[in-house]
A and B are shown apart, each in its own frame.
Chain A
Amino acid sequence: MDIMILSAPVNTVSGTALWRSLLLLLCALMLFVFSVGTAGAQTQRLDITEGQVAPIPVAIAEFTGPDGLPSEVGRQISQIISDDLVSSGLFSAVDSAAFIKPPESPSIRPDFSNWTPLGAKGLLVGSAFLDADGLLQIEFVLWDIVSQRNITEGGGSANQSGIRRIAHQIADFVYQEFTGDSPYFDTQIVYVSESGPRDRRVKRLAIMDQDGFNHKFLTSGLDLVLTPRFSPTAHEVAYLNYFNDEPNVYLLDIASGRTERLGSFPGMTFAPRFDPDGNKLIMSLAQDGRTDIFQMDLRTQSLSQLTRSASIDTSPSFAPDGSKIVFNSDRGGSQQLYIMDATGKNVKRISFGQGRYATPVWSPRGDIIAFTKMFKNEFFIGVMNVDGSGERLLARGFLVEAPTWAPNGRVLMYFKQEPVSNDGQGGQTYLYRVDITGFNERRVNTPADASDPAWSPLLQ
């Protein structure tokens, strides 16, 4: 029996089910060949084009002393750094009360498992204490918590009076490492401080750190002063001074307080600004009913005229490379922005929007120009590309005016005046700053009313 079964031919094995299956198999085979030919084993790629514009959370530990505990000066430094970073709008400080185990020394690698849950992306650890000679000794390390790597580190010593500056410089390190931008915390602001009744206003030059600390006056207030401008070295300030009711451009050496009148002209000079090298000064000179732009060589005090028109040409500002100058003029019938070569040739209008444009300032980056715009009884602070395109308004108010750039071209400062009510109240003038994205507008603290700010380059 078994032999018969075993030897039984299986000719009838072929059935419809079998052929159906074979057909399916064939289809699968074809599908396989097709997919091999078309797909292939390639690494997938995906582009991410949108992210979050949110402050970067950073944990800033209180700087410790030799005993590993926070020192008094360490606390102060940490607070300055934290304030700087938060004021930029690009960082948020993780609440120190949430720290699981505060670091004891910058030389000890932190336990990242204590910091990751806090959501911090960066951790700043440092030590700061006064040595036997009374010098401040500082060390710091900046950690990337996500990748658990040391991003940067540094240290040094300073006099006790330099605590704030040291702290600003450390904040600059953090800012630069996380934004990729050049920093601006170790800078100063020179501005016009206003006081007294409106009809007898006292205007003095004042200087302070960018955060409002270390404030001091540069002039006595006997003369009216306007439009101060830093030299590229930040050692000097050019400004307009009404001495004996005669307005002229003066140069002030900040360290010594010595002032110097730049030339003697038959007309009025105003709106000075340094060229990028600091060797020349451009300004407006009004005489015989017309206002033109002139350039002065500071070494020889020789003057050369750049514009020649019957209109008012004023508020000149150099491009960062010194090749071009932007200014405003009413030569076209209304006050608009123009660009010309540094030699005064190839004048070209760039603003064509509604309203009037004034006080243009070329960004330190060179890519955009800030301006004041007047339209329908309102003032605006805005920016546009150097060809006049891409106009964006960043601030508005009853009176907002006189923009000035932070040295990294990322932040603008200007002054804002409140309207005066019928009973004579109001009219306060304050300094404000805003990110060029239009966010993070903040008031800058000053002891009195303030106007005409000028932002210094990074201090050296």
Chain B
Amino acid sequence: MQRMAQFFKQPIALSLGFHILVVTLFTIGWPFFNSDETDIQPLIVVDIVRTVPNTNLATAESGGKAADIEQEETRKKPPPPAPVPKPVAQAKPTPKAAPKPVADAVEILPTKIASAPVTRPKPKAPQANKKPVSVPVSRPKPQQNKAIPSPKVKPNKLAQKSRQKEKADALNGLLQNLAEATQAKEAEENQKAQKKALNKKLAQNLTAAVGDALKTPSSSSIMPLGVSDIDRLRSHISKHWTPPVGAKGARQLKVDIFVKLEPDGEVTRAEIVDKSRFNRDKLFSVAARAARSAILEASPLPLPVEKYELWKEFIFGFDPINM
């Protein structure tokens, strides 16, 4: 471990590490961020939840939308005499048009929707069916299968309407297209606004994360104790230290005291490091007692709490060489 630590302390090793890190990030990071944007979607979920109730409330619209899709499908294939079975048959390909988005939507929504839509089904109750709405809410995957049936139900209604108002189809189609166009425009605008908001939020989150990383009081990221911190501490302890000066050899008596501290500077432990000498050398034991007393009397020690990780354990060397 020590060798590793020494290796990491070498400037060349550090420089090499940084370069590898930077190159790795930029080579792997570019494609990652460009292609896998959808992965960000989970973050979008929070905001999208708000759209769900709209979706549920506007079941008719969505049904209309589905109907439009169906109509488009039917337009593409006008001849089909039996539109009912075909849509069913084509119902599978229909979702294929946007298979993943739907799947993604279903996968993302469940837990979020569960709270809101479940309370709202009642107004929808009189409508077509509850199952397509409620089931998918609780079960994402089945929803995939049952979301498909929903178009099944709606095409039936459209088919009846189309029989009653065949002539109005074109007009309706136009109106619907117009409505669709405006809705799409609005949706696009909303989408852009949301994207902007999300971008902003994401950027803010990242900035905050970076800021937190810089501010986090870990031992590795904290600036060392400043000169003023050390001077204040040294001066404070010196006031309480009365070493046994004058005794022969006292000036050569250097005593180390291991100290454990609370964040408020309170000394919780003060131990003489050289215990064996403490037991056999009278003069040393006196000097050691004086040093330990100085620490205990000086408690709490004046140290910056924001750098606690740096000084929660301290060794004070009491050296009367200048006395």
Contact = CB atoms under 8 A, between A and B. Distances in A.
Given A35-B221, A146-B293, A5 B187 contact: yes
Contacts of A31: 214, 221
15 contacts: A2-B48, A6-B101, A7-B102, A9-B38, A11-B37, A25-B213, A28-B210, A39-B219, A44-B225, A48-B234, A56-B242, A176-B282, A180-B244, A181-B247, A181-B248
Interface string A4-27: 111111111111011011101111
Interface in B107-134: 108-109
A46 B190 CA distance: 62
A18, A21, A436 — most chain B CB neighbours (10 Å): A21
Interface residues of A, number: 70
B158 interface: no
A146 B290 CA distance: 10
A90 B311 CA distance: 34
A44 B310 contact: yes
Given A2-B48, A7-B98, A49-B320, A410 B246 contact: yes
The dominant DSSP class at the B interface is helix
A13 B191 contact: no
Contacts of B314: 43-46
Contacts of A52: 238-242
A30 B286 contact: no
A123 B258 CA distance: 26
A1 B41 contact: no
Contact of B316 (A25, A33, A46, A180): A46
B244 A5 contact: no
Interface string B283-323: 11111010011101100000000000111011111111111
A409 interface: yes
Interface of A: 1-15, 17-18, 20-22, 24-41, 43-54, 56, 90, 121, 144, 146-147, 151, 176-181, 365, 367, 409-410, 435-437
Nearest to A145: B293
B293 A21 contact: no
B165 interface: no
B14 interface: yes
Interface residues of B, number: 101
A436 B319 CA distance: 20
Nearest to A33: B17
A9 B86 CA distance: 30
B289 A32 contact: no
Contact of B203 (A17, A37, A41, A49): A17
Interface of B: 5, 8-9, 13-14, 17-18, 21-22, 25, 29, 33-34, 37-38, 40-41, 44, 48, 51-52, 54-55, 58, 61-62, 65, 98, 100-102, 104-105, 108-109, 183-184, 187, 190-191, 194-195, 198-200, 202-203, 206-207, 209-210, 213-214, 219-221, 224-225, 230, 233-234, 237-248, 250, 258, 282-287, 289, 292-294, 296-297, 309-311, 313-323
A7 B101 contact: yes
A435 B152 CA distance: 110
A31 B243 CA distance: 42
Nearest to A363: B248
Contacts of B317: 45-48
B198 A48 contact: no
B65 A25 contact: no
Given A50-B322, A181-B247, 17 more contacts: A1-B61, A1-B183, A7-B102, A18-B206, A21-B207, A24-B206, A32-B221, A33-B17, A33-B18, A39-B219, A46-B317, A48-B238, A48-B317, A51-B294, A147-B293, A180-B286, A181-B244
A147 B292 contact: yes
A181 B52 CA distance: 86
B234 A54 contact: no
Given A1-B54, A24-B207, A49-B321, A38 B104 contact: no
Contacts of B219: 39, 41
